[in-house]
Amino acid sequence: MKNKLVRLTLNGIEREVYCESRTTLLDFIRHDLGATGTHAGCEHGVCGACTVEVNGEIIRSCLMFACQADGAIIKTVEGFSKSGEMSDLQIAFKKHHALQCGFCTSGFLISAEDLLRKSPMPTDLEVREGLSGNLCRCTGYVGIIEAVLEVASTRAQANGDKHA
Amino acid sequence: MKSAPFQMHQVSTKDEILELLDRYGDDARIIAGGQTLVPVLAMRVASPDHLIDINQVASLKRFGISGRSLEVGACVRQSELEGWDELTRAQPLLAMMLPWIAHTPIRNRGTVCGSIAHADPSAELVLGLAVLDGSVTLVSKKRRRIVKAKDFFLGALQTDRQTNEFIEAVHFPISGAATGYGFAEFGYRHGDFAVVAVAVIKDGDSWTIGFGGIDDTARVHKINAESFDQVNQFLDELASETEVREDPTATSGLRRHLMRTLGKRACKQAMEFKRG
């Protein structure tokens, strides 16, 4: 029974939809709000494909019920770039062959953005650690790590130029 | 992979929690972080009729030093404690352990008390509470009681919590000025469950050495040793004599080996421990 009213902000837009108590935030985002960039992988918290940002912190959207996100500010992969354009991180993923099938990519992008926000110049090891909660089953991780490291250094350079 | 239907009660006071637990007992489950419970529901290992969501109970979101203990309320996230500036000073062992719990997105939502409530034999915080000789505050409509870790953890996923009780807070004794700490863990992938984890507390010649992952719950040993050789000898003997778990992830032989090697590493760390 869809008796729970959930009001939340998804990528800057306020939404208001009824759902069942048992609907996960993941299913709510995909099925009820129609934002299918967030992917449903293992649905029990192992793979990281469904990672989204809730009130500024990244979480697994499969491990939270939608009704618990009432009032929350949510950002999904769609919120990290303008429609029709790619973010610098997405461009770097393309350049470094950091995806093949792309199923895990939105989760990786969100974990990587969170890592770069908290630690703008991470070491190789910190990137590996920061992305350890996301699984890729086809391309492997080397390209992903290279992409993140490259973006870290180009962003640092751009920031340096701004301050100079 | 979808939960069976349930009624969600989103409460904002402790009284509401107690009222609902009193009414529904075993048909209700508390949900805070849900990092264990939601998969359990999704796989339908459990299908309670009622969930009591305690995330909006303001008084359960607090943590801090109370007397000689670090008191952590039921809704405090693992990442909140991990990010607390005072943690290394208050209880260095927790600061060592927390980064080993799963991954950032899990710790951002998972609670300290939730991990204790679940009582997984490999969980870092279960080992931490046991080795530090901490305690748990359980509250029901009729009474409030404080239970020592050694009496609280009864076995794998088994605790002394009664169906009408909930964990209000857990208490980790704070660090003594001259106490040394060590922690070592082996898992197949960072963030996976520990195959074996070892936590060590050293107060002068008195050592407390706790092991996670080897049995149904954390195993804690206390010894007196004047030299590191004596500690090594103890670890060698203990690893040979102890009955340890064997499962598809690790043979008992591997676990014994890890008890020795990780045990020595953690004891050495405790011996060389310097306060940050």
Beta-bridged to residue A18, according to DSSP, are A5
pLDDT in tens, A78-98: 999 988 899 999 999 999 999
Suggest the residue from A47, A65, A114, A117 to mutate for an interface test with chain B (most B CBs closer than 10 A): A65
Report d(CA A98, CA A143) in Å as an integer: 4
Report d(CA A47, CA A41) in Å as an integer: 6
Reported residue count of chain A is 164
Q: Where along chain B do its domains lie? A: 7-53, 58-173, 180-271
Domains B7-53 and B58-173 share a fold: no
Q: How many CB pairs under 8 A join A and B?
A: 83
pLDDT over 60 at A164, yes or no = no
SS3 of residue A150 by DSSP? helix
Contact check, Cβ <8 Å, B105/A48? yes
Architecture of domain B180-271: 2-Layer Sandwich (3.30)
Domain B7-53 fold is 3.30.43
pLDDT computed for residue A82 by the predictor:
86
**What secondary structure does DSSP assign to chain B, as a single string?**
--PPP-EEEE-SSHHHHHHHHHHHGGGEEEESS-TTHHHHHHTTS---SEEEE-TT-GGGG-EEEETTEEEEETT-BHHHHHT-TTHHHH-HHHHHHGGGSS-HHHHTT-BHHHHHHHT-TT-HHHHHHHHTT-EEEEE-SS-EEEEEHHHHEEETTEES--TT-EEEEEEEEPPPTT-EEEEEEE-SSTTSPPSEEEEEEEETTEEEEEEESSSSS-EEEEEE-SSHHHHHHHHHHHHHHS----BTTB-HHHHHHHHHHHHHHHHHHHHT----
Contact check, Cβ <8 Å, B2/A22? yes
- The DSSP letter of residue A22 is T
pLDDT computed for residue A140 by the predictor:
87
pLDDT computed for residue A163 by the predictor:
65
- Which two three-digit tokens encode residue A157? 């350079």
Q: What is the mean pLDDT of residues A56-81?
A: 97
pLDDT in tens, B33-52: 999 999 999 999 999 999 99
Shortest CA distance to B132 belongs to which of B78, B203, B61, B63?
Answer: B203
Whole-prediction pTM = 0.95
Residue of A nearest to B106 (CA): A59
pLDDT in tens, B73-128: 999 999 999 999 999 999 999 999 999 999 999 999 999 999 999 999 999 999 99
Does A124 contact chain B (CB < 8 Å)?
no
CB-nearest to B191 from A1, A57, A133 is A133
Report d(CA B172, CA B90) in Å as an integer: 9
Q: Dihedral of CA A134/A136/A142/A146: which sign? A: negative
What domains sit in chain A, N to C, each tagged with a CATH number? 4-80 (3.10.20.30), 88-159 (1.10.150.120)
Question: Roughly what angle, to the nearest 10 degrees, separates helices B228-241 and B252-271?
Answer: 160
Q: What is the mean pLDDT of chain B?
A: 96
- Is the separation of the CB atoms in B256 and B236 below 8 Å? no
Q: What is the ipTM of this complex?
A: 0.94
SS3 of residue A103 by DSSP? coil
Reported residue count of chain B is 276
Does A44 contact chain B (CB < 8 Å)?
yes
Contact check, Cβ <8 Å, B109/A129? no
pLDDT in tens, A18-47: 999 999 999 999 999 999 999 999 999 999
Which residues of chain B are within 8 Å of residue A60 when distances are taken between CB atoms?
Answer: 35, 105-106, 109
- pLDDT cut 70: percent of chain B above it: 100
pLDDT in tens, A111-143: 999 999 999 999 999 999 999 999 999 988 999
SS3 of residue A60 by DSSP? strand
Shortest CA distance to B33 belongs to which of A57, A110, A74, A16?
Answer: A57
- Is the separation of the CB atoms in B50 and B26 below 8 Å? no
- Is the separation of the CB atoms in A51 and A111 below 8 Å? yes
- pLDDT cut 90: percent of chain B above it: 95
Does B3 contact chain A (CB < 8 Å)?
yes
Question: Roughly what angle, to the nearest 10 degrees, separates helices A142-163 and A88-95?
Answer: 140
Question: Roughly what angle, to the nearest 10 degrees, separates helices A105-118 and A88-95?
Answer: 120
pLDDT computed for residue A161 by the predictor:
72
CATH number of B58-173: 3.30.465.10
Instruction: Give the range among A51-60, B95-104, B127-136, B182-191 with minimum mean pLDDT.
Output: B182-191
pLDDT in tens, B138-177: 999 999 999 999 999 999 999 999 999 999 999 999 998 8
- Is the separation of the CB atoms in B16 and B8 below 8 Å? no
Q: What is the mean pLDDT of residues B3-8?
A: 97
Report d(CA B238, CA B253) in Å as an integer: 13
Min Cα–Cα distance to chain A from B232, Å: 32
Residue with tokens 């979480």: A59
Compute how many other C-beta atoms are within 10 angstroms of the C-beta atom of residue A14: 9
